[in-house]
Structure 1
Amino acid sequence: MDNKPYILVVEDDKHIRNFIIAALSAQGYKCIETDNGIEAIALSLSHNPDLIILDLGLPDIDGIEVIAKIREWSKTPIIIVSARENERQKVEALDKGADDYLTKPFGIGELLARIRVALRHFFINETQDKSMDTFKVKKLCIDFIKRQVIINDEKIHLTPIEYKIMELLCKYSGKVLTHNFIINEIWGSAIGNETQSLRVFMAGLRRKIEKDPAQPEYIYTEVGVGYKLVDE
């Protein structure tokens, strides 16, 4: 039985599309392709791919609309590959449901690495219960049953808000979470789009778990977009 992941490549530049498909095929991935958004939505429905690589600047409809439509029925990982560098557009794509964002030009090695991470998370979430008993990465361990955070074998005291942020980051480890997403998940809509409180709590969290908060090894900042907890 052939269990190779199935990837939909949505890119209107034929040369870039062929380049991506050649690289994916060399790694054993199976590919389907299209150069427009309407067909991408149809292929997502009919073929149910394991992952979608999506350009935002499509000739018929914007890639943001494609994300929103696919997210109405599918949790398939979506990696954006786009020339758009504007932070607002990155945030919008991630808030609409994209799992990752690569800016053109990009290295094929980085794209392949991000594909592996996205597929790993998706298959794990599909085959096991969403609730975790523990989360471990490097020297950081979170015990969700005891609500304990341990770093270098030492228990770390977190405030209730810091713990909720840590728990959320663990749930989506390896994925960039936008400021708005974290704020809505932790505080709800009452706090609106205010990010200053989040920055304060994140700074406190980093002081407790990072050896050098200025050079973090666990919680990374995507400037102007959000935060990501490493997963390996």
Structure 2
Amino acid sequence: MTRVLVVDDEPQLARLLVINLKARKYEVDCAQDGGTALDAVAARRPDVVLLDLGLPDMDGIEVIRRLRVWSQVPVLVVSARHGSQEKIDALDAGADDYVTKPFSMDELLARLKAVGRRVSVREPGAADEEVVETEEFTIDLLAKKARRRGQGVRLTPTEWHVLEILIRNRGRLVSQRRLLQEVWGSSYGTQTNYLRVYMAHLRRKLEADPSRPRHLITAPGMGYRFEA
């Protein structure tokens, strides 16, 4: 059974989440501040953390940063902050996904399931997998070879770099800023047009339907994610 830690200082929302999650057979723990949340992760070992950013003792982004020092537990941010910068900061700190309040319970549950399915990918050694196979294409990171439907696909060095970062963070949103800085350098943090061009190239070369990608996913205004 999946254990979820709900971190929110709004009692009514926390109660609503607990009722809905327990009705769907999740085990649920609650914390109302960042310090309690960090202790709960260490003691209870949840499978997923639902985290509000506006906590009374510390900002939720600081909670993520502290968690990532010693834990890779998936974190789904649930916040009233709508700004793209807050979303990017949360992703850069190590969040896996971001849902904006108010939200529909169906959307939250769908995101929660998606994050939960990625837990196995986060196990030790999983990020070091060198060969990734999908129904449409195969990527060998070590050999720097790509094949689609049995045929070799030529990728440029920059395309490889973008793709490798996404694959090694499989299932997690990688922010636009992080991609830009890792591929092009620390002075490139806002040139999102670069990413649009290279992601379009990768989709055209690898996806069955580039206009409806199944594997190279865009989170508008936030970043990109690779799903196998």
Q: TM-score range by the shorter chain?
A: 0.7 to 0.9
- Given the two structures, how large is their TM-score scaled by the length of structure 2? 0.87
CA distance in 2, matches of 1:118, 1:97: 13
Give the Å deviation of 1:11: 1.3
> Which of these residues, 76, 84, 89, is aligned with residue 79 of structure 1?
76
Secondary structure at 2:76 match in 1? strand
Match of 1:123 in 2: 120
% identical aligned pairs: 36
CA contact (8 A) 2:127 2:169 kept: no
* Distance change (3 Å), C-alpha of 1:174 and 1:126: closer
Match of 1:55 in 2: 52
Match of 1:169 in 2: 166
Query: CA offsets per residue over residues 27-83 of structure 1, 9 Å max, x none?
Result: 322111022222222222332322210011223322122212222221111100112
Match of 2:227 in 1: 230
Match of 1:219 in 2: 216
* Distance change (3 Å), C-alpha of 1:69 and 1:59: same
Give the CA RMSD over aligned residues: 2.3
- Residue type matched to 1:130 in 2? A
> Which of these residues, 133, 136, 160, is aligned with residue 133 of structure 2?
136
What does residue range 105-120 of structure 1 map to in structure 2 within 5 Å?
105-120=102-117
Which structure 2 residue ranges, 5 or more long, are not aligned?
none
CA contact (8 A) 2:33 2:58 kept: yes
Match of 2:13 in 1: 16
CA contact (8 A) 1:137 1:230 kept: no
Which structure 1 residue ranges, 5 or more long, are not aligned?
none
Tell me the number of residue pairs that the alignment of Structure 1 and Structure 2 aligns.
Answer: 227
CA distance in 2, matches of 1:214, 1:179: 20
Give the Å deviation of 1:194: 4.3
- Residue type matched to 1:24 in 2? L
* Distance change (3 Å), C-alpha of 1:124 and 1:210: closer
CA contact (8 A) 1:173 1:228 kept: yes
- Given the two structures, how large is their TM-score scaled by the length of structure 1? 0.85
CA contact (8 A) 1:139 1:153 kept: no
2:176 corresponds to 1:179: yes
CA contact (8 A) 2:216 2:226 kept: yes
Match of 1:193 in 2: 189
- Residue type matched to 2:160 in 1? Y
* Distance change (3 Å), C-alpha of 1:120 and 1:212: closer
Match of 1:34 in 2: 31
> Which of these residues, 41, 44, 47, is aligned with residue 41 of structure 2?
44
